Amino acid sequence: MPKILLTIALIFGINSVLFSQSGWIWQNPLPQGNNMSNLQFVNSTTAYAMCFNSVMKSTNTGSNWSIYYTNHSQNNTSLQFINETTGFIVSDSGIVLKTVNGGVDWNNVYDFHEAKFHKIYFSDVNTGYLLRYNNYYSGFGTLLYRTTNSGISWNVILNDTTVTLNDVKFTSVQNGYFAGYFGNYSHNFRYAKILKTTNGGLSIDSVNTGFFGLVTGLDIKNNIVFVYGGTGLPYVSGILYSTNDGISWIPSDLHKTVKDFSYVDSGNLFASVSTGGSGLPFYKSTNNGANWSNIGSDIKSYEIEFINPTTGISVGSNGQVHRTTNSGVNWIRTTTTIFDSYFWSVEFVNSTTGFAGGSNSLLKTTNGGNNWVLIPRIPGDQIEFTDVNTGYAANVDTMYKTTNCGLNWINLNYGLPGQINEIHFINNNTGFYIGKYNILKKTTDGGNSWTQITGYGGYYQECMFFYNESLGFIGREDYNLGWGISRTTNGGLNWDFQQVPEYDNYIWDIFFINEYTGFYTTSNRIFKTTNSGNSWYIICEGLTFYDIMSIQFLDEDIGYASASGGKVLKTADGGSTWKIHNSISNYLFYDMYFTDINTGYFVSFDGVIVKTTNGCGDPIGIEPISSKIPESFELYQNYPNPFNPVTTIRFSIPNNIIGRNELTSLKIFDILGKEIAMPVSEILTP
């Protein structure tokens, strides 16, 4: 007679964090598109810069760059190399990493477990310092840590709630400076605050500058101490310097917010200055900062570093690197991009041919994204192909059509009303588009003419999915009820509406596997239906990031969803459980498209296109995010047991806690732990 082992589980989006760099490829920009910072030269030719999950290295003064991944799941916040081979990184989760082979490999030397550090600095290979805010969420105060054994252990040497330190530099193991400000944003005045140590941090003394200002950076060259940053009230200066160990300070004649600063040699200084725009104009001084001249720039620069009076590089947003050999008069970009604005959509017609579009432009590839060709003046905010040849591309009020896979495009109608938010075609002839303010139009002749669907009642429509000519869904906002799902079962003649929970806003995407099973995403949750949208239930929530912008299933089990911070959610069981993968980008992915269960493409702003070839990689670390824990459940002994061939199983589930039903599963395992049956997998009422 068989004997069974029973388990009952309330499955509710058990999540894990995954991380792997293998199988991810940058396709635009190149060599990568993340923001770059912490630029430094370690000799006359070798430079390093930090990205959110990697380190960039150049051995020819910025002409070419290599990428080395740090292989952890958090954002890098500070980088320092003390020589050509040895460097340190700290992440926003408190992980300290070290390399001894020029950034090729990184090892975890200490983990503070979720502590938020913003600066790491080593005065030699053994002695280092870490800065974090005393109150991370307000961004004020300072906790200063020190290590004397190369990061193996750390001790707090300063805990101050009134002084906020942003930078640290040492001239020797014993002598160093810490720079920041006194006060906070609720005060009208913030005083530039400089601290000094002459014994390796055993004692720290205050240095009086006598100036207002928000000091963000510090540099020491040729026994001259420079501090720089944003100016306070009243405006004084973006740069102060001292030639007598901080006893007195001199303001330079640059009344700007200085983002970065480079001291080349006696008299020659360069500064990148924030203007509130996309570029950071460069300024130059040839007399130690007494006077400055604007050498101009529209490049997106965060930091600059010069190795001599004529040669320097700058790094900035979306992987941009520029190089100058004439003291900043001209800058040449050494990284490449075919498109550097917003991508809103991506779609492939087969395994190799696809399109990515946005900002009134469209790109096409015929080799899996190895190369992309720009198709100018064709709007690509929305892309929809019905077969390998026939496709549509649209933006706010214009729609184009191709019948030869993008070789030629026909303007269907200029001036379509309603700000097109999404287009969806069932076949070559029948399609829909939605826009703002009750705009829902249908075509039955391939887009040549459009008819407004009435009785719909929408206010703002964000997304749409039609499974066939009859069954369709729209994520929209109702005048009175808020956000929800509208459904039609007769091609748009009639509609019903289901409101999403009140704490959700925006429905970003909808996808159906078949006529019965579908999904939609909100800011940080995923919903599922198994009855053609008659009812919906939550299958994933409790995420620490937001904006699940796109969802796609390859079959009934395997599905993906893209989100902010370069996160990708993946399920292998139809959405019952989800795991979170970090990509090689930390951008918000607006859209994605998988051509098979392993190969997918993701797009974002700043022209970002990344590709995965192994289903977003394998886990190398697991961190529980959240799970729905029932208040109580009971599983009673089955009777009879042993049995042949029938037994009765009795169980109870928790009361509905927050006004919605949950998916309940009853699984049966044999004595070896192998699942042999799942007699219950449905929404049950207690």
The better pLDDT of the pair 544, 38 is held by 38
- In this structure, how many other beta carbons lie within 10 angstroms of the beta carbon of residue 337? 18
- Give the model's confidence band at 229: pLDDT under 50 very low, under 70 low, under 90 confident, else very high: confident
Whether residue 658 is contained in a domain is answered as yes
- Output the CA torsion sign for 606, 610, 616, 622: negative
Do residues 229 and 257 make contact, with C-beta atoms less than 8 angstroms apart? Answer: yes
Tokens of 393: 């591309």
Average pLDDT of the residues in 565-585: 92
User: Binning pLDDT at 50, 70 and 90, where does residue 686 land?
Assistant: low
Angle at CA of residue 580, ends 579 and 582, nearest 5°: 145
The domain containing residue 648 runs over which residues? Answer: 634-683
Predicted pLDDT at 512: 98
Longest dimension (CA), the chain: 96
Is pLDDT at 237 greater than 60 in this prediction?
A: no
pLDDT attached to residue 278: 54
Q: So what's the pLDDT on residue 655?
A: 54
pLDDT digits (tens, 9 = 90+) for 57-98: 999 999 999 999 987 767 899 999 999 999 999 998 899 999
Q: pLDDT per residue over 140-154, tens digit each?
A: 789 999 999 999 999
Residue 47 tokens read as 């430079």
pLDDT of residue 624: 33
pLDDT above 80: residue 274: no
* Mean pLDDT calculated for residue range 162-185: 88
Which tokens hold the place of 268? 């020659």
Asked whether residue 664 is domain-assigned, the answer is yes
Choice between 135 and 309, residue whose per-residue pLDDT is larger = 309
What average pLDDT does the segment 251-270 reach? 84
**pLDDT score of 670:** 52
User: Of all residues in the chain, what percent carry a pLDDT higher than 90?
Assistant: 51
Q: Is residue 216 in a domain?
A: no
Burial class (CB in 10 A: 0-12, 13-18, 19+), 14: middle
| pLDDT, average across residues 345-374 | 95
CB contact set of 294 (below 8 Å; sequence gap of 6+): 281, 282, 283
pLDDT of residue 457 exceeding 70 = no
- Is the pLDDT score of 20 beyond 60? no
- Residue spans of alpha helices (H) in 206-354: none
Residue 654 is assigned to a structural domain of this protein: yes
Structural domain contains residue 656: yes
Q: Over the chain, what is the mean pLDDT?
A: 84
In a domain, 351, yes or no: no
Residues with Cβ within 8 Å of residue 531, at least 6 apart in sequence: 516
- What DSSP state is assigned to residue 92? T
**For residue 677, what are the β-bridge partners?**
668
The residue with greater pLDDT, 553 or 686, is 553
Q: What is the DSSP letter of 384?
A: E
Q: What's the rounded mean pLDDT across residues 396-404? A: 92
The CA distance from 38 to 48, in Å, is 8
Does a structural domain hold residue 674?
yes
Give the range among 356-365, 396-405, 408-417, 612-621 with minimum mean pLDDT.
Answer: 612-621
What's the pTM? 0.83
User: Domains in the chain: how many in total?
Assistant: 1
**Distant-in-sequence, close-in-space partners of 544: CB < 8 Å, separation ≥ 6:** 625
Is the separation of the CB atoms in 312 and 326 below 8 Å? no
Res 97: pLDDT: 96
The pLDDT of residue 643 is above 80? no
Half-sphere exposure of 397 (CA within 13 A, CB side): 5
Residues 525-559 have pLDDT tens digits of 999 999 999 999 999 987 776 789 999 999 999 99
Average pLDDT over residues 339-351: 94
Region 264-282 average pLDDT: 76
What pLDDT is stored for residue 21 in this prediction?
A: 61
Predicted pLDDT of residue 93: 84
**What pLDDT score does 619 carry?**
46
Residue 675 lies in a domain: yes
In this prediction, what percent of the chain has a pLDDT beyond 70? 81
Per-residue confidence (pLDDT) for residue 66, from 0 to 100? 93
**Closest listed residue to residue 342, CA positions, set 375, 297, 371, 379:** 379
Name residues whose C-beta falls within 8 Å of residue 185's C-beta, 6 or more positions apart in sequence. Answer: none
Angstrom distance (rounded) from CA 280 to CA 278: 7
User: What pLDDT is stored for residue 499 in this prediction?
Assistant: 85
pLDDT digits (tens, 9 = 90+) for 182-225: 875 555 556 788 999 999 999 999 987 777 677 889 999 888 88
Give bridge partners of residue 177 from the DSSP assignment: 169, 196
